[in-house]
Structure 1
């Protein structure tokens, strides 16, 4: 996946027309350090500013197995699909059609687990071969506060504070 400005997204069809979330990046830095969502969208923050990351995606019927120890930072975030469409997007609006629709149960609430490793290496990396890897799992689930399962890279250690209350789901 090619990222620009260290970002990629899940977006629904109504995100830019019916919803606007100008504070998503601020909520990432003030929250779990990796992802924040709202109605019709999720923003993920990579360490790589501009370049390629390895991204694996998974559509799940239920919560996936716990993450392996190889993942440095892992968070679960709730988002709501009002249209029954959630697709993978690059910064600038290019959709990754091959990834499919992540709103597998139609309109409603979903939980997204974002797992990352190599964000520290990605921050300093220049070149065409990716050094950062993400794994994105999405499944239908009622809304819940953000859960930080692990926060072990420099970006997480700088911005995530376990003493702060967890981020809450943003209602449509």
Structure 2
């Protein structure tokens, strides 16, 4: 059974242009995702980068991250959408390319540590993706959980799909 190696609590991450970008040391994710496969996450085919599609165009969402030593147990309860993609990583950490609202920026990094460069599977969970934009006071907070583990490459996988936001993007946006 897989074990959790490292995890970061939920950070307040600023969303711009409806995405949260996760990048390596290059701090760049320069690709135009279509989100047609999952409506939630897409990996940069030419480099180390991921984009998570949010329901809000501009705002703050909660993002937690975990590094596992193998595929974590699949838990879909409480999440609207869950999807996986593979990504090839060249550096020793993953970081949010957007602005986060933490006093300690190291707290938001997901270090790959001894695992280092290689191919990883990334599972993204999302909830509260549907709603007004901007969100009204009292609306549920949009949240994401990113789980990462070393794995052989594989195609995108949609594991749960219940949000209107995800359905819209899977139809071509």
Q: Which TM class, normalised by the smaller chain length?
A: 0.7 to 0.9
In the alignment, which of 155, 166, 173 is matched to residue 145 of structure 1? Answer: 155
1:82 alignment partner in structure 2: 90
Q: CA RMSD in A?
A: 2.7
Please list, as runs of the form range in 1=range in 2, the aligned pairs for 1:78-157 lying within 5 A after superposition: 78-90=86-98, 96-104=105-113, 105-121=115-131, 123=133, 125-127=135-137, 131-157=141-167
1:165 alignment partner in structure 2: none
In the alignment, which of 56, 65, 75 is matched to residue 57 of structure 1? Answer: 65
Secondary structure, counterpart of 1:8 in structure 2: strand
Secondary structure, counterpart of 1:112 in structure 2: strand
TM-score (norm 2): 0.77
1:167 alignment partner in structure 2: none
CA distance, structure 1, for counterparts of residue 73 and residue 27 of structure 2: 30
How many residues are matched?
155
Deviates more, 1:136-145 or 1:101-110: 101-110
Q: Which has the higher strand share?
A: 2
Q: Which has the higher helix share?
A: 1
